[in-house]
A and B are shown apart, each in its own frame.
Chain A
Amino acid sequence: GAVVSQHPSWVICKSGTSVKIECRSLDFQATTMFWYRQFPKQSLMLMATSNEGSKATYEQGVEKDKFLINHASLTLSTLTVTSAHPEDSSFYICSAANRVYQPQHFGDGTRLSIL
Chain B
Amino acid sequence: GENVEQHPSTLSVQEGDSAVIKCTYSDSASNYFPWYKQELGKGPQLIIDIRSNVGEKKDQRIAVTLNKTAKHFSLHITETQPEDSAVYFCAAFANAGGTSYGKLTFGQGTILTVHP
Do A and B truly interact? no
The chain B residues found within 8 Å of chain A, CB to CB, are none
The chain A residues found within 8 Å of chain B, CB to CB, are none
